Amino acid sequence: GCAQELEIVLQSVFSYAMLVILGFAIVKFFGMLSVCVLTCKKEESGYQPLYSGVFA
């Protein structure tokens, strides 16, 4: 009846919200990871002409 329909709607909304949150978490994680990698590489190799065009 009505309760079962409502349950299905709530389930789909919940799963959609979880996907959105998971997506944001993955994007945030990769963003932090890339920043860390860039910072570490910059510190290791010093200032190279290769990176000057990227950050300018």
- The C-alpha angle 53, 39, 24, rounded to 5 degrees, equals 100
Contact 7, 16 (CB under 8 A): no
pLDDT digits (tens, 9 = 90+) for 13-34: 999 999 999 999 999 999 999 9
What pLDDT is attached to residue 56?
A: 46
pTM reported for the whole predicted model: 0.51
* Highest mean pLDDT of the ranges 21-25, 42-46, 48-52: 21-25
Alpha-carbon distance values, 27 to 11, 22, 48 (Å): 24, 9, 28
